[in-house]
Structure 1
Amino acid sequence: MITINRPNKIRDCFNKASETYDTNCQVQLRIAKSLINQVKNYQLSFNKIFDLGCGTGISTKILAETLEYEYLHAVDFAERLLEIARVRLAAYGAIVVESDFDLLDYQTEAYDLIFSNMSFQWSLDLIALIKKIHSILLSDGILAFSIPLSGTFYELNLGHVNQLFTQDKILDILNEIGFTTIYHYSESITNVFDSVPLALHSIKSIGANCLPQSMNKTLCGKSITEKFFKKNEPPYTLTYQIGYFFLKK
């Protein structure tokens, strides 16, 4: 996973994608709906819900419309995404905070559901983050999250920079911290494109999501070339390897 300081350029990538994210996040939305349905099928009513990495609030809105709750908190570090989220979530009584979830003070609230859709890959220290989450969950509280796994975008020439965790490694971390796994599963989602620019635009339009940090320098800039793909003719595919984790404290 990412182990070096996250540059402001990552935040800039997400901010630049604020106007294109909602119309290009079909994969992320599909994953969110699946995760939220799993939560609903297990438990419908909660007191305090915390959404980490809420982005534009497009997934948070579905969460708010699906579950019953007293308090809904949401956090993200990209201010332009949060401008959209605050408007979108105003009718749901959500408290939306601009902050890096790695740096939040996690000692002030106790939640019975912490939710995150496709965000934890950006943590500087996933183990430390999950420990903090465990500490603020109530007894029997739920952690539900999705995350891209090792093998995501295998079609690209990422080489040694692909530092995403395997599903087994994440399960080991969760077990060591003290979570009880209710269920977990993984799936592959593949998108097909006629050209390299279309494929890589699909990444940029959602803030270069799911890529290791060291790839963002190029994908957020102007140097988008065919050298990134292992194949040199269409069709071009981008495959997400997604892990779903549903746990109890």
Structure 2
Amino acid sequence: MHDAYWIDKARVRQSFHRASKSYDAAAILQRQVREEMLARLEVVKLQPDRILDAGCGTGHGLQALLQKFKGAHGVALDIAEGMLERAQTLFPRYRFWQTRPQFLCGDIEALPLATASVDMVWSNLAVQWCNDLDAALQEFRRVLRPNGLLMFATFGPDTLRELRAAGGQQHTHVSRFIDMHDIGDALTRAGFTAPVLDVMHYTLTYDSVESVMRDLKTIGAHNATAGRARGLLGKGFLQQLREGYEVFRQQGKLPATYEVVFVHAWVGNQPYAAPGSSSVQFVPRKSASTV
């Protein structure tokens, strides 16, 4: 039985599909995080042949990567078909790309890609929609070639703390986000080496609680947890939310805090081995010497 924070992937897919046309106008934080991730790539020595953007959204991250790594082949993967349709408009057939990216509709926890088929996995604020971090990281490890790079950003537990506090405990109003140290442990379990993790906090400000909720809806970030309230929320709850959020107002604005965990880690030079498997080495027996 799933707990209250189990994420309904069908609802996630539907929400982001519907939000695909309005996403870019409201995705302020996603743009800021993308620029930070690209800046961090400046000190990384890598020339990938094939790049996977896992949770590509409307495709701007992959577009920037293919501009940076000219000649590389791109794979754009997203759980929502609407996002992929928007992403395709960024990639005309003839420009600086040797070939158009491959567009795949799929789940990060079960990537529709062959083992050892990409040199770099990039994911900007998508991993938090996974139910099983270990499964997601195992999939990233599986599809990466030896000496490949994983780089992603995801939300930490301080994210939307104001909204969580204002909403009370009756239902789950905000997803559960994973601590940086737990992510580091999961990377080690998945077989990644030299992981580097750090945290940055971003604060967006709003005039009202309704504006906070509207922004989340516009980018498709609906509450998809199993413990969410079902049906329409009444005026009583909305009033409770307004009053609870007011205690955080500063200089006339309501803050929305986002804790972003930045991660990069490498795959060693050994080929991928599935969890629980082990290689068996056969050593030929020496023949008996004759006298």
Fold shared by both chains (TM-score > 0.5): yes
Please state if 1:97 is matched with 2:95.
no
Does the C-alpha gap of structure 1 residues 212 and 5 become closer, same or farther in structure 2, counting only changes over 3 Å? closer
Q: Are 2:49 and 2:72, in contact at CA under 8 Å, matched by a contact in 1?
A: yes
Aligned AA (2:57): G
More helix as a share of residues: 1
Measure how far apart 1:2 and its partner are. 8.7
Normalising by structure 2, we get a TM-score of 0.76
Q: State the number of aligned residues.
A: 247
Whole-angstrom distance in 2 between the partners of 1:38 and 1:83: 28
Q: Are 1:2 and 1:163, in contact at CA under 8 Å, matched by a contact in 2?
A: no
Cα RMSD (Å): 2.7
Please state if 1:237 is matched with 2:232.
no
Does the C-alpha gap of structure 1 residues 192 and 129 become closer, same or farther in structure 2, counting only changes over 3 Å? same
Unaligned runs of 5+ in 1: none
Measure how far apart 1:5 and its partner are. 5.8
Measure how far apart 1:8 and its partner are. 2.2
Instruction: State the partner residue of 2:121.
Output: 114
Whole-angstrom distance in 2 between the partners of 1:213 and 1:134: 27
Q: Are 2:117 and 2:144, in contact at CA under 8 Å, matched by a contact in 1?
A: yes
Measure how far apart 1:109 and its partner are. 4.9
- C-alpha offsets along residues 142-184 of structure 1, whole Å, 9 cap, x if unaligned? 0000000111000013667442110000001101222123522
Instruction: State the partner residue of 2:274.
Output: none
Residue pairs, 1:176-195, within 5 angstroms? 176-195=189-208
User: Greater Rg, structure 1 or structure 2?
Assistant: 2
**Sequence identity, in percent?**
23
Residues 155-164 or 197-206, more deviating: 155-164
Instruction: State the partner residue of 1:131.
Output: 138
Does the C-alpha gap of structure 1 residues 217 and 76 become closer, same or farther in structure 2, counting only changes over 3 Å? farther
Does the C-alpha gap of structure 1 residues 197 and 125 become closer, same or farther in structure 2, counting only changes over 3 Å? same
SS at match of 2:89: helix
Residues 102-111 or 113-122, more deviating: 102-111
Residue pairs, 1:68-217, within 5 angstroms? 68-91=70-93, 92=97, 93-157=100-164, 161=172, 162-208=175-221, 213-214=225-226
Does the C-alpha gap of structure 1 residues 248 and 226 become closer, same or farther in structure 2, counting only changes over 3 Å? farther
Instruction: State the partner residue of 1:29.
Output: 31
Q: Are 1:73 and 1:94, in contact at CA under 8 Å, matched by a contact in 2?
A: yes
Does the C-alpha gap of structure 1 residues 199 and 244 become closer, same or farther in structure 2, counting only changes over 3 Å? same
